[in-house]
């Protein structure tokens, strides 16, 4: 089963954030992080100075088009041996940078607004998209605690979020995400397949030709 969602965004930037359902236990919080954009992006720069963005290799030997890094107690990594969480950045040999307080508070607030109080993420995956970059349909299932939700924050260029079903073959809906939109999913939708369509070229006042995505997870 898939769920359709209007692509329309509020015309007035001062319009209060709207909550739009994606499916059972899943919502889009429109504009929830919009006013925090500059501070969040500054923190991304500080994190990536300690653990630079890189293109991971999948277990099948493919190079991911998304560039990524992590912060928090755990970081998600991929190589020929598989997908996993690791407290050490394999590129630097050091622990991942600490999760900025603004990140942690945003994740907590967004989760609570979506009906998941007390969310305590220990990992934040930071993905950088350029025009043409995509993320194929997948499930977030490397976490040991699947009771906790996923909180995903969009910054910069708009993207088309692909929201599928519990089977890879389910046809996904196409959901337009703009700067500051936050998607939260858990409960019955925790293992829904999702992805990002190839990013369209554009220019954003804060990120230029890029889109940055913050994905918060509780791994244990």
- Tokens 């804060």 — which residue? 206
Is 147 annotated among the ligand-binding residues? no
Is 155 annotated among the ligand-binding residues? no
List, edge to edge, every strand of the sheet that includes 123-129: 19-23, 26-29, 182-185, 150-156, 211-217, 123-129, 67-72
Is 216 annotated among the ligand-binding residues? yes
- pLDDT of amino acid 55: 98
Is 76 annotated among the ligand-binding residues? yes
- Tokens 């607030």 — which residue? 109
User: Does the CA dihedral 93-95-97-99 come out positive or negative?
Assistant: positive
Is 80 annotated among the ligand-binding residues? no
- pLDDT of amino acid 120: 97
Is 203 annotated among the ligand-binding residues? no
| Strand intervals (E) in 96-199 | 123-129, 135-138, 150-156, 159-163, 173-177, 182-185, 194-196
Is 119 annotated among the ligand-binding residues? no
CA distance 212 to 155: 5
- pLDDT of amino acid 17: 61
- pLDDT of amino acid 15: 55
The DSSP secondary-structure symbol of 11 reads S
Is 55 annotated among the ligand-binding residues? no
- pLDDT of amino acid 145: 85
Closest by CA to 133, choosing from 204, 215, 211, is 211
- Whole-model pTM? 0.92
- Tokens 């950088």 — which residue? 128
CA distance 136 to 119: 27
Is 134 annotated among the ligand-binding residues? no
- pLDDT of amino acid 84: 96
Is 190 annotated among the ligand-binding residues? no
H-assigned helices in 67-219: 101-113
User: Which residues have C-beta within 8 Å of that of residue 176, sequence separation ≥ 6?
Assistant: 7, 9, 158, 159, 160, 161
Is 54 annotated among the ligand-binding residues? no
Question: Mean pLDDT of residues grouped by 10 in the chain (220 residues)?
Answer: 34 63 97 98 98 96 97 97 96 98 98 98 98 97 94 98 97 98 98 98 98 97
- pLDDT of amino acid 27: 98
Which helix (H) or strand (E) covers residue 41, if one does?
A: helix 37-50
Is 207 annotated among the ligand-binding residues? no
Is 211 annotated among the ligand-binding residues? yes
Is 91 annotated among the ligand-binding residues? no
Is 214 annotated among the ligand-binding residues? yes
- pLDDT of amino acid 6: 31
- pLDDT of amino acid 106: 98
Is 116 annotated among the ligand-binding residues? no
Please, is 8 exposed, middle or buried when counting C-beta atoms within 10 Å of its C-beta (0-12, 13-18, 19+)? exposed
Is 85 annotated among the ligand-binding residues? yes
Q: How many CB atoms are closer than 10 A to CB 67?
A: 18
What superfamily in CATH does domain 19-217 come from? Alpha-ketoglutarate-dependent dioxygenase AlkB-like (2.60.120.590)
Domain boundaries, the chain: 19-217
């Amino acid at each position: 089963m898939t769920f359709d969602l209007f692509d329309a965004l509020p015309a007035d930037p001062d319009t209060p954030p709207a909550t739009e359902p994606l499916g059972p236990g899943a919502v889009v919080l429109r504009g929830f992080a919009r006013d925090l954009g500059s501070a969040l992006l500054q923190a991304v720069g500080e994190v990536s100075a300690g653990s630079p963005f890189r293109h991971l290799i999948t277990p099948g030997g493919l190079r991911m088009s998304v560039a990524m890094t992590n912060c928090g107690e755990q970081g998600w990594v991929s190589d020929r041996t598989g997908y996993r969480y690791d407290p050490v950045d394999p590129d630097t040999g050091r622990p991942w940078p600490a999760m900025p307080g603004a990140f942690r508070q945003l994740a907590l607030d967004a989760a609570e607004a979506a009906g998941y109080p007390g969310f305590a993420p220990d990992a934040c995956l930071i993905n950088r998209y350029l025009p043409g970059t995509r993320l194929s349909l997948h499930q977030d299932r490397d976490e040991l605690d699947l009771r906790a939700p996923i909180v995903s924050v969009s910054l910069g260029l708009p993207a088309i979020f692909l929201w599928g079903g519990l089977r890879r073959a389910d046809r996904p809906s196409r959901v337009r995400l703009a700067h500051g939109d936050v998607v939260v999913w858990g409960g019955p939708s925790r293992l829904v397949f999702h992805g990002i369509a190839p990013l369209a070229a554009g220019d954003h006042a804060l990120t230029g030709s890029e889109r940055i995505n913050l994905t918060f997870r509780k791994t244990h």
